[in-house]
Structure 1
Amino acid sequence: MADQEQPTAAAGPAGEAADEKKSKNAEKKAKKEAEKAAKKAAAKERELAERKKKEDADAADVSADSYGELPLVGSKDFKPTGTQRSNLADIASNEDKEITFRCWVENARVQSAKLAFLNLRQGLNTVQAVVAASEKLSKQMVKFSGSVSTESTLVVTGLVKRVKEEIKSATIKEFEIHITKLFVEVKAEVPLPLQVEDAERPLPSAGLGDEDEKQADDGRPLVGLNTRLDNRTIDLRAKINHAIFIIKSGVCALFQEFLSKRGFTLIHTPKIQGAAGEGGANVFELKYFDRSAYLAQSPQFYKQMLIASRFQKVMEIGPVFRAENSNTARHLTEFVGLDLEMEFQENYHEVMSVLEELMLFIFKELDTRYRAETELVRSAYHVEPFKLPESGKVPRINFAEGIAMLREAGEELGDYDDLTTPQEKHLGKLVLEKYGSDFYTLDQFPLAVRPAYTMPSPTNPNLSNSYDMFMRGQEICSGAQRIHDAALLAKMMREHDPPINPDADGTRDYVNCFRYGCPPHAGGGFGLERIVQFCECCVVDFLLLIQNC
């Protein structure tokens, strides 16, 4: 019986139950795996559907023709669009209208996938622009617009909309542009060597080089003069520099406007001379083919020769060259001179009156016609406004009176000493206290400190019929009655310190022109850069370097 087969453990009712349980577990596992696979497949299908939807949307960019980079102007045949270009200065007259204008980017940022903001500039005007996704404007355009590099040049079309709250980040505060088209005309490379917004700030007060660069209270850099001049085209994009150039242009326009109405003729005198005039000091010598020539120190001789030629009143705006090795804010080797000369009827004070009225006209009209520009400059250089007298009431102080005022205030100086710069500034404060004016005229200067062609005073041989005009104690205009008699002129030239030869090549024709009859005359002149410096209350050398760098 030992060889008889024994029944297995699975046999019987208990084994059958175990097999059934195992089978059910396998079915559940298979079902879960099937469900998991189905969910995974569904998710994959949804992902593919979304991707296809996005691809289809990308392929059907509703703004595809409304943004992008334009080909270089001039590189393709020109086809007029007929689209009128607008000026941001006229934005108020275009409310709720669509305009197209050229501008450049001050700042661009993406706020979200559906919204971007840009600050756009045209001239001195800046405006906020909005690019918002909609059924007619794609997210792709929003992304492109918000990523345009700073300083890139754009052609923008958009709707002018009034805003509920003033926009602080733009000069145009009541309107914004809702962009519908945006094209990059010229893309700016990044990074910029100098940020334009940093050029809007004052120069460091101590030192102008890069080694002196500092930070302002807000942590932004005060960029030194070296960096600015090394990147001058970027530096000149600053609104404050644009304003300075506009003001300089305004001074010239006002100068010519005032004098033209009073019968002055605009002249243009030579700037390359065959011989050095006015004593030959402080002149630049240059090679003129096979001989030497000299840059003109002033148009003085020519102005007087034109008066002798029966021109009653002349004016000039032109370059002046002085070979003075000075490193101050008061002197330049090259500057723009604004000069006038006129005959008078009885007394040289007639010409003084014209010059005083001219200066008052320029100061007051700058504050009226160019207020936006002057306020922009003054926002960086904070100085109190000038106290100007009424027309016809400019304080006139004899040199002797000025000396007396200074002595009374503790200054030590002789009757005929030339005033030092600190003494001039001190006198300016005394005049303001006594007369309530920052602008005044000092008359009857010592003869020894004036040019040889200055008419001596009839009341005192040590004085002269000459005058300077001051703003806050700093000279802004100088002039005098000129000698109009050849014999007296030759005598005064020989007695001058240093002596001037009236028969030399640079002076002979000048002296001889008075031998044929010349009316009494006087004149004056001032440097454009100095006037702009004082008009705008800017007390740094940088403003004086604008023209020459």
Structure 2
Amino acid sequence: MAEESNAPAAAAPAEPSKNALKKAQKEKEKAEKKAAAKARELAERQKKEAADSEDISKDNYGELPLTGSKDFKPTNTDRVDLSTIAEHEGKEVTFRCWVENARSQSAKLAFLNLRQGSNTVQAVVAASDKLSKQMVKFCGTVSTESTLAVTGLVKKAPEPIKSATIQDFEIHILKLFVEAKAEVPLPLQVDDAERPLPTEGEEEKAEADGRPLVSLNTRLNNRTLDLRAKINHAIFDIKDGVCQLFLEFLWKRKFKLFQTPKILGAASEGGANVFELKYFDRSAYLAQSPQFYKQMLITSRFPRVMEIGPVFRAENSNTARHLTEFTGLDLEMEFQEHYHEVMSVLEDLMLFIFNELNKRFKEETELVRSVYHVESFKLPKSGEVPRIPFQEGIKMLREAGEELGDYDDLTTPQEKHLGRLVLEKYGSDFYVLDQFPLAIRPAYTMPSPLDPKLSNSYDLFMRGQEICSGAQRIHDAELLAKMMREHDPPIDPNGAGTKEYVDSFRYGAPPHGGGGFGLERIVQFWLGLPNIRMCSLFPRDPQRVTP
């Protein structure tokens, strides 16, 4: 018989208390609620992502393919000029422009400054049930200077927009396409080119706001960007205007426009300031002026001639008013009795140009002068242009402390000094010096009957700096040949390039005179710009032949 075990019996497991069961139930319910919340959050996020991925504006923005690279059917949509924007209030318009600035204000709002020509306008891109946040983001990050095709609604601005030239209206964008994307970073910020050139020695400094002072050399090295600045557009609008006004005035006075050769077989005017070039198997030269051809046209019975064309001067001059290639405005005309008839035409021509610039290009002139803080150009009335004999100008300078001889040529500082004296005495920034010393004028200049050391020649000045040189020309072949031989340096009247010129006077030539203007100088001195290179699209000087 087995023995009975003396080990105690195992205790039965205790039943959980009611509190523990209640706590476990609560934790279970809490976990279920948390899981349900996460599930709802995930579902909502997936729903939102699905909605976002649809992008309701996907067909209304983006980068267009390179124009001409794909077959394309024109939309024939009318494009508007921003200058007429006020006429389109409340209407949908389409226009080409480029980006001055683009910035995202938030995920649902972006602003752009858009430019077309000299006009700028603020554009608004706002997310809505018809415009996606993706489009807002795209518009707010378009690179500066990119070219765009924009469609938008013209609305009255709630308050004047000081950052744009169009201050009373803004564009609410509906479509925006990039036609040509600008690479970043830019080598030159166009906004920096809107400010004045630094003075000498300040090129590496910065203004108080920390923005760099961009040197002329940097600007010219990146000229196409530099030329986008509104101030440069104004300068070249005025330059174009001077040419148009020159032609307008002279056409009405029966001048005919001609184009004379710029490649010559000989350095016809003498001197060393001529560019030589290889012309097939021989040497040729770039024209220093159209002078000989203007006179030969007079002998060909064209009584009044004019030209606008390039002039080349091989002068190793690195000044603020010299270029090796500039644009000449030239004229030549018969006169009846006295060479002052020619001077009168030149004076009235310039007064017409000045007065019309004040009328037709007032906005452009004021824009440039506001940057450089230059005084308005003081003008005399027609018939009252100061005509100062050279000897009187010498006297005025001597009385002001300058030391110079009766027949000395004036230096640039002396010319500027005389300009200040003339302005003080006559109240004019425009005047004429007459009867220059013969020794400092070209060989074809008529000697003066008043003094054999003087000549029937003149210069026109703006703000004390020469813009035009002119004279009565010798129209007798024998006297012309004599003066050429006696010139310093001598010129052979029977030499290549001169014989035909001298011979043209052997067949009867009327008395005549004229002048040649430097177009870039007119623009420079009218606007008071510090350097003539600012008035040449791609200037040429002793140091620069690119871009």
Matched position secondary structure for 1:400: helix
Equivalent in 202, 221, 224 of residue 196 of structure 2: 202
How many Å apart are 1:5 and its aligned residue? 8.2
How many Å apart are 1:313 and its aligned residue? 0.6
Matched position secondary structure for 2:90: coil
**% identical equivalent positions:** 78
- Please tell me the residue identity of whatever aligns with 1:175: F
Match of 1:58 in 2: 52
Aligned residues, how many? 537
CA–CA distance in structure 2, aligned partners of residues 242 and 201 of structure 1: 13
- Is residue 192 from structure 1 mapped to residue 186 from structure 2 by the alignment? yes
Match of 1:391 in 2: 382
- Is residue 162 from structure 1 mapped to residue 153 from structure 2 by the alignment? no
Deviations 1:321-354 (A, max 9, x none): 1111111122211111110001111111111111
CA contact 2:521–2:532 (8 Å) conserved in 1: no
Equivalent in 412, 423, 428 of residue 403 of structure 2: 412
Moved more, 275-284 or 539-548: 539-548
Equivalent in 15, 18, 22 of residue 24 of structure 1: 18
Equivalent in 297, 319, 329 of residue 288 of structure 2: 297
How many Å apart are 1:394 and its aligned residue? 0.7
Matched position secondary structure for 1:250: helix
Matched position secondary structure for 2:17: helix
CA contact 1:329–1:544 (8 Å) conserved in 2: no
Gaps of 5+ in 2: 540-546
- Is residue 40 from structure 1 mapped to residue 34 from structure 2 by the alignment? yes
Alignment of 1:370-449 (within 5 A): 370-449=361-440
CA contact 2:223–2:538 (8 Å) conserved in 1: no
How many Å apart are 1:457 and its aligned residue? 1.0
How many Å apart are 1:6 and its aligned residue? 7.9
- Is residue 180 from structure 1 mapped to residue 174 from structure 2 by the alignment? yes
CA contact 1:99–1:159 (8 Å) conserved in 2: yes
RMSD: 2.0
Moved more, 287-296 or 388-397: 388-397
CA contact 2:304–2:332 (8 Å) conserved in 1: yes
- Please tell me the residue identity of whatever aligns with 1:130: V
CA–CA distance in structure 2, aligned partners of residues 462 and 223 of structure 1: 49
CA–CA distance in structure 2, aligned partners of residues 346 and 43 of structure 1: 106
CA contact 1:105–1:153 (8 Å) conserved in 2: yes
Deviations 1:265-317 (A, max 9, x none): 11000000111111243111100011110000000000000001010111101
Match of 2:129 in 1: 135
CA contact 2:238–2:523 (8 Å) conserved in 1: yes
Match of 1:213 in 2: 204
CA–CA distance in structure 2, aligned partners of residues 227 and 38 of structure 1: 69
Match of 2:216 in 1: 225
Match of 1:111 in 2: 105
Alpha carbons of structure 1 residues 229 and 424: separation in structure 2 relative to 1, 3 Å? closer
CA–CA distance in structure 2, aligned partners of residues 129 and 374 of structure 1: 28
Matched position secondary structure for 2:378: coil
- Please tell me the residue identity of whatever aligns with 2:385: V
Alpha carbons of structure 1 residues 333 and 542: separation in structure 2 relative to 1, 3 Å? closer
CA–CA distance in structure 1, aligned partners of residues 24 and 182 of structure 2: 63
Deviations 1:102-132 (A, max 9, x none): 1111111111121110001111111100011
Deviations 1:440-479 (A, max 9, x none): 1111111111111111111111111111111121111111
CA contact 2:198–2:215 (8 Å) conserved in 1: yes
Gaps of 5+ in 1: none
Equivalent in 319, 322, 326 of residue 313 of structure 2: 322
CA contact 2:235–2:535 (8 Å) conserved in 1: no
CA contact 2:446–2:456 (8 Å) conserved in 1: yes
- Please tell me the residue identity of whatever aligns with 1:404: K
How many Å apart are 1:523 and its aligned residue? 0.3
- Please tell me the residue identity of whatever aligns with 1:285: E
CA contact 2:462–2:526 (8 Å) conserved in 1: no
Deviations 1:114-159 (A, max 9, x none): 1110001111111100011122212121111111111111100011
Moved more, 50-59 or 400-409: 50-59
- Please tell me the residue identity of whatever aligns with 2:488: D
CA–CA distance in structure 1, aligned partners of residues 19 and 223 of structure 2: 82
Match of 1:540 in 2: 531
User: Normalising by the residue count of structure 2, what TM-score does the alignment of the two structures yield?
Assistant: 0.94
- Is residue 335 from structure 1 mapped to residue 326 from structure 2 by the alignment? yes
Equivalent in 66, 82, 87 of residue 88 of structure 1: 82
